[in-house]
Structure 1
Amino acid sequence: MTTAQTVLVTGGNRGIGYAIATEFKKAGHNVAITYRSGEPPAEFFAVKADVTDAASIDEAFKQVEAEFGPVEVLVANAGITKDTLLMRMSEEDFTSVLDTNLTGAFRVVKRATKGMLKLKRGRIILISSVVGLYGGVGQVNYSSSKAALVGMARSITRELGSRNITANVVAPGFIQTEMTDVLSDDLKKQYIDSIPAKRFAAPEEVAQVVRWLSSDEATYISGAVIPVDGGLGMGH
């Protein structure tokens, strides 16, 4: 029997984040999500938050803590892309992606660890990407932000490992979401040809790995990068 934990998924209103939130809810946990705009899914305790604003994050955590108690599992999933070739990439294109994907993860992790240190336990899962280690054309900003999450997780592990707090990275490859649905058939075929598994992943395949990392079966795993990419980024 799973003991219900308080789980917070940033950017949990769509795509991989929504699949992760759904997976935790199915397993019987108390799940909260953050969303930045639009209407959040009704089935979750949803708080509006902007990961680029520390005050907004603090307020979101207060609401979650009032509803469910301290956050025991944090999934830092919120992210953006502003893809363009290096020579065309403005400094703002670069810094804004880092501010959301990397500094945003730092802001939510820092706030979550306050409660985790008091509880003397916690699970931090950072959602990276295969391009964080493999690279991607037109993605100098995005891949830099996602690669840096590895250093973050490993430094947190060294700092907080003795407090029963783990920090791990999940690096998805191409996932069947709204973002891949809009690709042309030619581009889809090109991507699929490069993946040893010869298919995109279902969002649930990422979500199950994230949930497992937060479980008692993974208590001795920290500072790890777990690829869910069908073999695309092997060796990285």
Structure 2
Amino acid sequence: MTCGSGFCGRAFSCASACGPRPGRCCISAAPYRGISCYRGLSGGFGSHSVCGAFRSGSCGRSFGYRSGGVCGPTPPCITSVSVNESLLTPLNLEIDPNAQCVKHEEKEQIKCLNSKFAAFIDKGGFLEQQNKLLETKWQFYQNRKCCESNVEPLFEGYIETLRREAECVEADSGRLAAELNHAQEAMEGYKKRYEEEVSLRATAENEFVALKKASSRDMGGRAMWIPEGHTVLEG
């Protein structure tokens, strides 16, 4: 610690200083020896009090061991202390034991409401975007010029195509009818021929049966004549 103009001193070992009246000196015991004055001198003070305001002509001496400070007589500084007795009485806070639970529930409800409010805000923004999109589409449909459709020529061309197809079908129907008649006539001819063939077969079968009978009779007659011829030859 340093003090005053032109005064350089060593480190003080005291923690407080008291200012003496003018014309008085202060003697203190310190672990350092030496004499210190206000101007141009240096010294170490070892007591808990430093007396004097370092005026011109004031000086202090220090001895080898600390033996306390000597100051001039000062009037005692005792001030009266007043106590407010109302502060000593215990406070009745009337704390509800369920208040913590209620506060926790209120915090949770506030969080839930905040989340719902944020969800409503997001939904509102989405609906607003959808509304703008629909408005844009509506304006586009209103401002779009309706071009005249060429439906009638298309229908006429389609009808003409159907007429040509109908004519072709009619022509094919006539050709198919002629083919059907020809096929029916051929079928009738084949049917007659089949009936004739069936009748000829029946006739042929009858003739075959008659011939078979006749041949069997002839064979029986020849069998009878052969033994008689043998007997004649032997006789």
Please report the TM-score for the alignment, with normalisation by the length of structure 1.
Answer: 0.13
More strand per residue: 1 or 2?
Answer: 1
When the two structures are superposed, what TM-score results if normalisation uses the length of structure 2?
0.13
Looking at secondary structure, tell me which structure has more helix per residue.
2
Q: Which has the higher contact order (CA 8 A, sep 6+)?
A: 1
